Structure 1
Amino acid sequence: MHSSLHQSKDKSMRFIKAVAANLVGTGIALAALFLFTMIIFGGIIARSTQKVQSVRSESILVVDIPAVIPEVVSGDPFAQAFGQESSFGLFDLTRAIERAAGDNRIKGLWIKSGALATPWASLQAVRRSISIFKASGKPVVASSPSFSMNEAGYFISSLADSVFADPHTMMEFNGIAMTVSFYADLFDRLDIHVDAVRAGTFKSALEPYTRTDLSDENREQLQRITDGIANTFVNAVAEDRGLTVSDIDGLMESHALMTASDALNAGLIDGIRYDDDIRSSLLETTGQELGETLRTTSIKSYVRDTPTNSNRGDSDVAVIYVVGTMMPGKSTDIPNPFLGGQTVGSDTFIRSIRKARLNKRTKAIVIRIDSPGGVVPAADAMLEEIRVAAREIPIIVSMGGVAASGGYWIATGAETIVAESLTITGSIGVFSLLIDTSEFMSNKIGITFDGVKSHPYADMMSGMRRLSAAETAMLQRTTDQVYESFLDLVAESRNLSIEDVDAVAQGRVWTGEDALAAGLIDEFGGLDDAIDIAAVAAGLPADEFRIRFYAAPKGFFARFTDPMVRAAAGWIISAAGYNPNTELAASLANLNEMMGYHGTVVARMPFDLQTH
């Protein structure tokens, strides 16, 4: 009996092992099949992206402006194949348009610009490149591809020789507005408490979590920025269209929404035409007969046909991007804030700048900043590596749409700071916050906490109770000390007194125009201007150096899987109806980011500034 049971158990064990082995084997086979399939798929995508139509002679360069022009793109085929990434970044776009001015194959430029949500500083860079193209004498036409156009889109289009609109295009022409989301009522309803301190009267990044409306100081600074954008827009459009500033202001006050006919009567467009009509009108420019198909070259094709690194020489000007919120560790770039979002990790940046510095070809470094700031220790670690490099070679900072707070912290390591007049910068101030969720846990979901401690303040960072008055004073003291360090950095970098810096600091956000007047930047310009300044500082002859873009090195597996994760996450999010450009999405992202700042000193500009 015993022997029979033993044999039965052996058979059962062998059966279980066989099943387990089969399951493991099947899993490995499926994983291998998936890997093989994705490699093949990636190869097909890569081959397809290489077969983009080349530049056609005697053609019109057609530039479809995406709603959001990214500062930089990864270039991975997976993200682009799934529609989660543009095929070009801002510098690719502006450099391509400028090169087309001197390209005999390109006979004209057709800008398609609709309802845009791109930072105004980036739009200034695009306008500058279009101006360079216009100076060549080649025609520039503009139209809206989406049957709608807002001020940002028209800011690009108005520079064209001729602006056309479809008969049913709607034009938003109602001015510039900024809105801020507030969550204090939400937190009250959820029994969540925020203990927060700040250094800087204008440091308003905390307000969404402690107030239900704008403070007087925040309203003042946001109104100043809004007026600055509006004035730039109005003056540019008035000059482009041969109208007066009063004409444009009057239209904004009386014609907030216009039909194509309204825009034509107001002198904002030159004609009402369908896409085919515009194509027909351009045939003469390309030397074609009526009825032929217009020869065109897409901006996607042109960017790939005319790479940025076309210059030759034995020297490099390195360009390193700082895009996103500054955090410790590695950078992330997934199109969902709950899966990491876009952050610049201090470790990733340090590896990149160190690699550039140690390359014997590198004669200067340009740091391109498009960041609202972030965690102070991360920003300071990045600054220290910038200082190390600055002892050996020139460091120039180029500011994009926003380079504020922690973004300005690292800019202090440069010998020259270049920004657009509408760059959002400054915000020299810091804050700290602690989030108490104990009542939410107990009252809303039934989880309570208890414990013991060795010293009176051992649990002050736990997030499970409110701070006492003594603990709040401690938090304020450490925050003030970091602010004083920030003032010292700026004073030394900009050759100003502490008092002068404090007067323009206090956490206040400035446009580039005001920052120049305050001595916080050196001159206006884009990334191309910063690169030229860096070359001159390094003693490099014009056009005899290579521009090299640095990114952190990745291993084979990360190189293969990261694009798939990014593309798949983006596709799933899009399929679920998530749109990162909505105010709701921005609010959710800000709440998620705020939770990550618990117990840290933060140098970040206001979280949620939506410009309309």
Structure 2
Amino acid sequence: MVEMAITRPGLWMTSSLMKQFFLTMGGVFAGLLLFFVIIPFFLIAIAIGAASSKEPTPANTVLELDLRDGITDQTPTNPFAVFGGGGLSTLQIVDTLAQAQDDRKVKALLVRLPEGGLTPAAADEIRQAIRRFRASGKIVIAHSQGFMPVGTAVSSYMVGASASELWMQNTAAFQLAGISAESVFLSRAFERYGVNAQFEQRYEYKNAVNEFTESDYTPAHREAMVAWMTSIYDSALANAAQDRRLTLPSLKAAIEAGPYSAEQARQRRLIDRIGHVEEAEAEVKRRAGNGAEIMEFGDYASSVGERTGSGSSSIAIVGAEGAIVTGRGGGADPFGSSSMILSDDTAKAIYDAIEDKSVKAIVFRVSSPGGSPEASEQILAAIRAAKAAGKPVVISMGEYAASGGYWISSEANWIVAQPSTITGSIGVYGGKFVLADALGRFGIDMRNLSVGGQYADAFSPSQPFTPEQRSAFAAQIDRTYEEFIARVSTGRRLPPARVREIARGRVWTGAQARQIGLVDQLGGLEEAIAKAKELAEIPADQSVSFKRYPEPESPWKALSSAFGVSSEAARVLVGIGAVMDDPQAEATVRRIQTERARASGASVLADQPY
């Protein structure tokens, strides 16, 4: 017995050491694999891509912009995002068209339209960029293979209407007749399968929880949905009518009387010409001049790069896209185009712009459905610091800047939004799912143990809130809501009573938000830059340089994010970085962290679950 008591620990230590040995060897193998196989592959691919993208622009160039693959709001800073299928971004399109309109070699633009919808605010911004391109005296032809009766196809049509000519394929159908949206409600399914959704929401327009607690639209949910859908629809039709030189009533009547064949659409002046895309390409090349060649938009964008501008004074452009969460480091998908707004990284980007003496003002581009109140407050604190340092902050709202996205925007000097930007949603929700009964139906028993105070197991999925826990959680939700109200009241110079009246979790479009004082100006990044110059007292005709934050990630940092789950591999990479005398490699790998998920009981500032 005594011998066993002595030898058992020894055996445990031996097996532990063996396990550590194999883990270390595995890490070494992984590091070597990264160094000799994966890293060279990616770096070679990047080099090839960079070399191929530097092809010279032909003397008579037609840019072909294909919007059918979907776009993000901002270009990912991750150098490997291209391998995840990431395509163009709205800001990249706007920036590139701004350069192309001044490029004498670029004569025309061909736009390939999606059959479904574009994100309305992105469509607004692309339309504005196309109009500026046309105003420089250049030709734009848009080609469609049909407009489907789904989602926001009206936004695709609006972009097409901004072209010099809008073409459709002969067999395509013009089925656009309005905007439609679907919502899924799970209340009856939860009831049937024993899932108990326990949530607090502030207030009746904070509709994200309704899909868990209701079986149909509540009156407030329906009212808000219809209102923002109508606003987007009316705005898109008004823009299309203006661009096609039609009256709004006549265009609306024609569209809503559809669907049509391509020929019927042409007869009703909804499009200009019928033809295959190859015919449209031939026509736009003919108009561009002798020897005209088509160049893919992405290739041209890579060859010209981002606008840097000129001048001793700089405007910082800080980008933020995705759900707002605490933390720092790479996104959830290091080899994809998905993104998150990480509070440490975003706040640091703003502080970096503050410390740069050449930066006179900051344009903060926000495209977010919301997220963590704590993360939002950290970012807002950085904006306050910029203002205190005498550097005006102008918000440029992208596809959406709702809930937490509005929290981080609320105290800026000026807010610019597209007419179709989804914003507002000044509210908060939180709660949990009680799963014990649901799992019990499958013979799975869930039990909870806790020590400490009565709130310790408040968010256990095995049991409902007690009355005391529910009361305490509701009080927390109320505090967050009041904090949100206070920030909007301060930033927008509105009485708290007025903010409560227009808040209650309601979503507004940019056009609606401007009418009620939540937004100052309608427009996109160009308008935000112009306002930033004005607030910084830089003459309108004086050139400025642009500095973008955060800076793009190095391949080392992206790889460390991708493989950060392996501490042993990380140590090997540190060693490789030291051998290569690359301090950045060593520093970034040493900062590897595991992703942090919010606790199940977190309150959330978001219009929709994400």
State the TM bucket, normalised to the shorter chain. 0.7 to 0.9
User: Are 1:433 and 1:597, in contact at CA under 8 Å, matched by a contact in 2?
Assistant: no
Q: Does 1:273 align with 2:308?
A: no
Distance apart, 1:552 and its partner CA = 6.6
CA distance in 2, matches of 1:114, 1:29: 46
- Taking structure 1 as reference, are residues 302 and 116 closer, same or farther at Cα in structure 2, changes over 3 Å only? farther
How far apart are the structure 1 equivalents of 2:443 and 2:343? 37
Partner of 1:355: 352
3-state SS of 2:464 partner: coil
Question: Could you say which residue in structure 2 is the equivalent of 1:250?
Answer: 253
Question: 1:144 and 2:124 equivalent?
Answer: no
- Write the distance in 2 (CA, Å) between the matches of 1:189 and 1:36: 55
Q: CA deviation digits over 1:113-145, x for unaligned, max 9? A: 122543211111111111112212222211126
Instruction: Tell me the residue number matched to 2:578.
Output: none
- Residue 60 of structure 1 aligns to which amino acid in structure 2? V
Equivalent position of 2:557 in the other structure: 558
Tell me, yes or no, if the aligned pair for 2:99 and 2:307 is still in contact at 8 Å. no
Q: What amino acid sits opposite 2:224 in the alignment?
A: Q
- 1:446 is displaced (CA, Å) by 1.3
1:287 aligns with 2:289: yes
Deviations 1:288-323 (A, max 9, x none): 2xxx6x412221122123333332233322122221
Residue in structure 2 matched with residue 583 of structure 1 by the alignment: none
- Measured after TM superposition, the shift of residue 198 of structure 1 is 1.8
SS at match of 1:230: helix
Query: How far apart, CA to CA, are the structure 1 residues paired with 2:182 and 2:121?
Result: 19
Find the partner of 1:394 among 368, 387, 392: 392
- 1:107 partner SS: strand
Partner of 1:180: 183
Output the CA distance in 1 between the equivalents of 2:337 and 2:114.
Answer: 30
Q: Deviations over 1:349-390 (max 9, x none)?
A: 122222222222222211111111112111112211221222
Query: Aligned AA for 1:539?
Result: E
Contact 1:418 1:524 in 2 (8 A): yes
Tell whether the 8 Å contact from 1:109 to 1:140 is kept in structure 2 after alignment.
yes
The answer to whether the Cα contact below 8 Å between 2:399 and 2:421 also exists between their aligned partners in 1 is: yes
1:96-111 equivalences under 5 Å are 96-111=96-111
Q: Which residue of 1 aligns with 2:543?
A: 544
Q: What does residue range 505-516 of structure 1 map to in structure 2 within 5 Å?
A: 505-516=503-514
Question: Aligned partner of 2:535: which letter?
Answer: A
Q: Which whole-Å CA distance do the structure 1 matches of 2:29 and 2:466 have between them?
A: 58
Q: Which residue of 2 is the match for residue 307 of structure 1?
A: 305
Secondary structure of residue in 2 paired with 1:321 = strand
Structure-to-structure mapping, 1:525-604, within 5 angstroms: 525-541=523-539, 542=541, 544-551=543-550, 557-562=556-561, 598-604=600-606
> SS at the partner of 1:209?
helix
Aligned to 2:70: 68
Q: Which structure 2 residue ranges, 5 or more long, are not aligned?
A: 1-16, 565-596
Q: TM-score scaled to structure 2, two decimals? A: 0.83
Pick closer, same or farther for the CA change 1:253–1:66 going to 2, 3 Å. closer
Task: Report SS of the residue matched to 1:282.
Answer: helix
Distance 1:427 1:446, change over 3 A: same
| Distance change (3 Å), C-alpha of 1:75 and 1:232 | same
- Give 2:12's aligned residue: none
What RMSD over aligned residues (CA atoms) do the two structures have, in Å?
3.1
Alpha-carbon distance between aligned partners in 1 of 2:255 and 2:563, rounded to the nearest angstrom = 45
2:244 maps to 1:241: yes
The answer as to whether partners of 2:78 and 2:552 remain within 8 angstroms in 1 is: no
Tell me the equivalent position of 1:494.
492
1:115 match: 115
The answer as to whether partners of 2:190 and 2:196 remain within 8 angstroms in 1 is yes
Distance of 1:475 and 1:375 partners within structure 2: 16
Q: Matched residues in 2 for 1:336 and 1:259: separation?
A: 44
Taking every aligned residue pair, what percent have the same amino acid on both sides?
26
Q: 1:179 to 1:409 in 2, by over 3 A?
A: same
Q: Which residue of 2 aligns with 1:264?
A: 266
- The CA distance in 1 between the partners of 2:453 and 2:26, in whole Å, is 55
- Give the match's secondary structure for 1:486: helix
The counterpart of 1:606, out of the listed 595, 605, 608, is: 608
* 8 A contact 2:396–2:415 mirrored in 1: yes
Correspondence for 2:202: 199
In 2 relative to 1, CA 169–471 (structure 1 residues): closer, same or farther, beyond 3 Å? same
Whole-angstrom distance in 2 between the partners of 1:446 and 1:243: 64
Alpha-carbon distance in 2 for matches of 1:340, 1:74: 6
Rounded to whole Å, the distance in 1 between the matches of 2:481 and 2:107 is 54
Q: Matches of 1:321 and 1:262 in 2, distance apart?
A: 44
What corresponds to 2:585 in structure 1? none
Return the offset for 1:398.
Answer: 1.0
Code of the aligned partner of 1:501: V
Query: 1:85 Cα shift?
Result: 0.7
Which amino acid in structure 1 is aligned with residue 355 of structure 2?
L
TM-score, length of structure 1 as denominator length: 0.83
Q: For structure 1, which runs of at least 5 residues remain unmatched after alignment?
A: 1-16, 566-594
Residues 331 and 438 (structure 1 numbering): CA distance in 2 closer, same or farther, change over 3 Å? farther
- For 2:371, the equivalent position in structure 1 comes to 374
Pick closer, same or farther for the CA change 1:354–1:242 going to 2, 3 Å: closer
- Offset at 1:452? 5.7
Q: What is the CA–CA distance in structure 1 between the aligned matches of 2:338 and 2:284, rounded to whole Å?
A: 43
Q: Answer yes or no: is the 8 Å Cα contact 2:154–2:233 preserved in 1.
A: no
Matched residue SS, 1:85:
coil
Q: 1:35 to 1:144 in 2, by over 3 A?
A: farther
The 1:474/1:26 distance shift into structure 2, 3 A limit, reads: closer
Decide whether the 8 Å contact of 2:200 with 2:474 is kept in 1: yes
1:424 deviates by 0.8
Q: Which residue of 2 aligns with 1:85?
A: 86
1:164-203 Cα shifts (integer Å, max 9, x gaps)? 1222223331211122222223322442212111222311
Larger mean CA deviation between 522-531 and 46-55 belongs to 46-55
Q: Which residue of 2 aligns with 1:471?
A: 469
What's the offset of the Cα at 1:279?
2.9
Q: How many residues align?
A: 556
Shift in CA distance, 419/23, structure 1 to aligned 2, threshold 3 Å: closer
Q: What amino acid maps onto 1:214 in structure 2?
A: Y
2:228 corresponds in structure 1 to 225
Alignment CA distance shift 1:39-1:474 (3 Å): closer
Instruction: Tell me the distance in 1 between the aligned counterparts of 2:538 and 2:105.
Output: 30
Q: Does structure 2 retain, via aligned residues, the 8 Å contact 1:63–1:111?
A: yes
